[in-house]
Amino acid sequence: MTSQQRQLRYGEQEEHQPGCFEIFCGVLRACGLICYVACPPIPSKITNKLAFHPPRKGLTYRIVSKNEPQRKIENISEVKDNDYQLIIHNLANRTDFIYMEREVEVFTAETVFKNHLVCVKCKLLDPPLEESLQDQVILFCQPNSSDLGGFLQPSMMNLVSYANHFQVDMFAFDYSGYGYSSGYQCEKNVYADIRAVYQKIRETHPNKNIVLMGYSIGTTAVIDLAAENPEGLVGVILVAPLTSGLRLVSAKPADPKTCWADSFKSYDKIGNIETRVLICHGNVDEVIPLSHGMALYDKLKNPVPPSVIHGADHQTILNGRHYQTFDRISYFLKNETTISNRSTEVMTSQRIGFD
């Protein structure tokens, strides 16, 4: 039996040998990728290309003017205050969805670099049952490959779901260059972005204490701000955090030496945070391994017991598949933040008769 007859009889496929043209095209693609990443050969430029992957503008949501709904808008700075509306593109059934204003309030914040950010406040519909939660809000920083529309999808766990589960209002925003926020994405802009939104919350809600919550690359922005211990900060939640850019690439999360060309240097900053810090990490996370979360935990001044979510990877740890993540965060908010811990101490003092 010839090899051709054997292939026909047993359904075998002849092994395909790439031709010269296919090899040439493959080499061209590889060279193009190298040129895109490495040119110009400036560490910060390379970092920006590797670290930030914003979804295509308009894929998950769009901004429209209430007065001119047919007008095409490129970024939020083109629309006057209170004249914008956020329309979510439901990826599950390809329809448009609009949240009621009593659920989601849209506002803007301006950074020191004059970038205008799209921000949302996802409101708790009913007052929280726990007294310790009444004065707290969460400022959420998202991963590198998502925008507000991705975290407001009506057919999945979203920021509105988080607010009602955690029993606190949730604030979130799009980084510069993401969604309809103006500017471009880079490390220094991410740090300026979170400061602008934090300050806006302090101005508009002066009676509220803030818990910073970061997910993936969002943890780097949270740690950078929290390390300055700003007024009003009462807790930090880090979900799948990384120690630094080069430590992630080199698979050495606890390397004591920091290279001058490193980026997102959370490992060097986290020890300056004074408030309580909760770390949640999946034990099968292949994007940012659990060892990064544990290396950061070892450097904390004021840690609470971390939460290792068994069976959770980088995507599933916060998408609703693992309820343990949400239960642990809820417990942290109720009992372990600076304000909740203080409330517990006051109630205990009152019970035993102290002033």
Question: Residue 244: which of 224, 265, 225 has the closest Cα?
Answer: 265
> Is 314 part of the annotated catalytic residue set?
yes
Tokens 């359904």, located at residue: 11
- What distance in Å separates the CA atoms of residue 276 and residue 271, rounded to the nearest whole number? 12
> Is 281 part of the annotated catalytic residue set?
no
Q: Indicate which residue of 146, 176, 181, 216 is catalytic.
A: 216
- What distance in Å separates the CA atoms of residue 293 and residue 295, rounded to the nearest whole number? 5
> Dihedral of the CA atoms 117, 220, 159, 48 (nearest 10)?
50
Question: Residue 212: which of 56, 337, 340, 37 has the closest Cα?
Answer: 337
- What distance in Å separates the CA atoms of residue 134 and residue 146, rounded to the nearest whole number? 29
> Is 285 part of the annotated catalytic residue set?
yes
> What token pair was written down for 281?
């990490």
Q: Indicate which residue of 116, 281, 292, 314 is catalytic.
A: 314
Q: Indicate which residue of 147, 193, 224, 285 is catalytic.
A: 285
Q: Where are the beta strands (DSSP E) in 102-148?
A: 104-110, 116-122, 136-141
Helices vs. strands in the chain: H and E counts, helices first: 11, 11
- What distance in Å separates the CA atoms of residue 138 and residue 222, rounded to the nearest whole number? 12
> What token pair was written down for 128?
């929280």
Per DSSP, the three-state class of 274 is coil
Report angle CA 73, 171, 313 to the nearest 5 degrees. 100
From the number of C-beta atoms within 10 Å of its C-beta (0-12, 13-18, 19+), residue 293 rates as: buried
| CB within 8 Å of 324: residues ≥ 6 apart | 307, 309
Give the catalytic positions in this structure.
Answer: 216, 285, 314
